[in-house]
């Protein structure tokens, strides 16, 4: 479901580049270069980072994966050369131009220090920003939202999907936009004769009333966008099919609404215990649309890419050795993807611990040399300009960033 939605999303953003109005609207509302943004994409189910950014220079990788290894660059179906040590999964070819223009980086052997191999505990810790502490009520992106300066609007933080994820839950109001067919169709609640009654019922400060008011503000923005697009279509915009696509408005929202500072997606389908595949196959089939979607998002938001950082994270990595069914089981260290104009890209960051037997975490998994929080903290500090106090509020107790990721963001 999520993967398909992302596909539609990418189709929508591609269409957007054909609509000049979107880009102009963006530029006009951001004369000084625009608002700094952070987009987080969470790959739920634990993506196999060793087949995403392939350590083809580490011979232990090939020993551990007789049937699912990605071959070195230059071989048939081989990895795409990155830096002489690592190669990119061939299904991620749409991202290679961003690597070459140095706006895409990876942080390998990164992740959460907590040892859990439970998807749900690990996701929870990664979203709360407090690994090992299950009592934390809110998510780190919600704490980040309250740390960002300036007046907050209903679309300051937007989550795509019908429910609010843990990472955005908390004190600050967050809008959510559903994915799927018909998501941007007008609803009965958009009609004043109807919402006038509900305004009376949900006028308080209780959780339902707050959600109601946030929802109404979001609907007003969406419907205003819809009207603008009707005008655009009347002016001869090329793609009526694109207009009917529910996903186009997602890109439109991110690209046009100057209020959006934080956005969140979750994509499922990464839990490849069986028949993971190599250059082709199950994992490749999931990576390809993700790469296309990210590429389309980067292009679709136009000049705003200069001020946007996109993070791709997952709860943990997978076993170094393939399991008995040509798949991989739950592991530990993984790779984090960092993309956007402010990124000092074209580099694989982080200390590589190697895949030699004695270097593995608990004799089976990629060890972690970079705590995910310290890598994200670099983004928050250098890109979103958070001070020390705010950083400590977002990631309490996080270790300082290792020198190996210090240069991640251009200053």
Binding site for other proteins (CB under 8 A): 1-2, 44-45, 116-121, 161-164, 169, 173-178, 180, 182-183, 187-189, 193-194, 197-198, 200-202, 206-208, 211-212, 214-216, 218-219, 268-269, 271, 273-275, 323-327, 329-330, 362
CB atoms within 10 A of CB 183: 17
Measured from the CB atom, the residue of 130 and 169 that comes closer to other proteins is 169
In whole angstroms, how close is the CB of 204 to other proteins at the nearest point? 9
Measured from the CB atom, the residue of 34 and 45 that comes closer to other proteins is 45
Measured from the CB atom, the residue of 125 and 349 that comes closer to other proteins is 125
Measured from the CB atom, the residue of 30 and 323 that comes closer to other proteins is 323
- Residue linked to tokens 């705590």: 371
Measured from the CB atom, the residue of 71 and 323 that comes closer to other proteins is 323
Q: Which helix (H) or strand (E) holds 265?
A: strand 262-267
In whole angstroms, how close is the CB of 32 to other proteins at the nearest point? 30
- Residue linked to tokens 């990595």: 317
Q: How many CA atoms lie within 13 A of 354 on its CB side?
A: 7
Point out which residues pair with 106 in neighbouring strands. Answer: 337, 348
Q: How many CA atoms lie within 13 A of 26 on its CB side?
A: 25
In whole angstroms, how close is the CB of 280 to other proteins at the nearest point? 16
In whole angstroms, how close is the CB of 234 to other proteins at the nearest point? 27
In whole angstroms, how close is the CB of 104 to other proteins at the nearest point? 28
| Collapsed DSSP state (helix, strand, coil) of residue 359 | helix
Q: How far apart are CA 285 and CA 310, in angstroms?
A: 21
Q: Quick one: which of 300, 317, 296, 309 has its CA closest to 340?
A: 309
Measured from the CB atom, the residue of 155 and 308 that comes closer to other proteins is 155
- Residue linked to tokens 């982080």: 350
Point out which residues pair with 309 in neighbouring strands. Answer: 38
In whole angstroms, how close is the CB of 403 to other proteins at the nearest point? 32
In whole angstroms, how close is the CB of 295 to other proteins at the nearest point? 24
In whole angstroms, how close is the CB of 8 to other proteins at the nearest point? 14
* C-alpha distances in Å from residue 381, one per residue of 59, 144, 166, 183, 400: 37, 11, 22, 35, 12
CB atoms within 10 A of CB 306: 15
Measured from the CB atom, the residue of 117 and 256 that comes closer to other proteins is 117
Q: How far apart are CA 101 and CA 91, in angstroms?
A: 19
Q: What is the CA radius of gyration of the chain?
A: 21
Measured from the CB atom, the residue of 189 and 356 that comes closer to other proteins is 189
Measured from the CB atom, the residue of 103 and 169 that comes closer to other proteins is 169
In whole angstroms, how close is the CB of 146 to other proteins at the nearest point? 17
- CB within 8 Å of 82: residues ≥ 6 apart: 53, 88, 99, 106, 348
Q: How far apart are CA 400 and CA 226, in angstroms?
A: 45
């Amino acid at each position: 479901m999520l993967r398909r939605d992302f596909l539609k999303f990418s189709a929508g953003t591609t269409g957007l580049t054909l609509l000049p109005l979107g880009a102009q609207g963006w530029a006009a509302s951001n004369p000084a270069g625009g608002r700094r943004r952070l987009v987080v994409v969470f790959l739920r189910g634990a993506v196999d980072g060793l087949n995403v950014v392939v350590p083809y220079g580490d011979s232990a990788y090939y020993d551990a994966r007789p049937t699912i290894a990605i071959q070195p660059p230059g071989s048939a179906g081989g990895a795409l050369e990155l830096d002489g040590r690592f190669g990119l999964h061939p299904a991620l070819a749409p991202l290679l131009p961003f690597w070459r223009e140095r706006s895409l980086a990876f942080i390998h052997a990164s992740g959460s220090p907590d040892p859990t191999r439970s998807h749900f505990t690990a996701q929870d810790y990664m979203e709360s920003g407090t690994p090992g502490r299950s009592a934390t009520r809110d998510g780190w992106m919600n704490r980040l939202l309250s740390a960002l300066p300036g007046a907050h609007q209903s679309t300051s933080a937007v989550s795509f999907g019908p429910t609010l994820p843990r990472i955005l839950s908390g004190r600050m109001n967050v809008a959510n936009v559903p994915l799927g067919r018909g998501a941007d169709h007008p609803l009965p609640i958009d009609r004043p004769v109807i919402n006038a009654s509900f305004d009376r019922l949900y006028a308080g400060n209780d959780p339902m009333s707050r959600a109601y008011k946030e929802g109404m503000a979001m609907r007003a923005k969406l419907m205003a966008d819809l009207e603008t697009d009707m005008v655009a279509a009347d002016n001869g915009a090329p793609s009526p099919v694109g207009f009917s696509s529910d996903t186009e408005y997602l890109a439109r929202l991110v690209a046009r609404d100057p209020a959006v500072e934080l956005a969140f997606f979750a994509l499922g389908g990464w839990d490849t215990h069986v028949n993971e595949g190599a250059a082709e196959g199950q994992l490749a089939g999931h990576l390809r649309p993700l790469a296309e979607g990210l590429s389309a998002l980067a292009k679709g938001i136009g000049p705003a890419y200069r001020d946007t950082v996109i993070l791709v994270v997952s709860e943990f990595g997978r076993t170094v050795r393939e399991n008995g069914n040509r798949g991989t089981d739950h592991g530990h260290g993984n790779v984090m993807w960092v993309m956007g104009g402010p990124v000092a890209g074209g580099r694989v960051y982080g200390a590589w611990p190697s895949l030699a037997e004695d270097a593995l975490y608990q004799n089976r998994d990629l060890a972690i040399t970079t705590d995910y929080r310290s890598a994200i903290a670099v983004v928050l500090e250098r890109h979103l300009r958070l001070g020390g106090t705010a950083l400590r509020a977002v990631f309490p107790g996080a270790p300082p960033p290792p020198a190996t990721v210090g240069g991640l963001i251009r200053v």
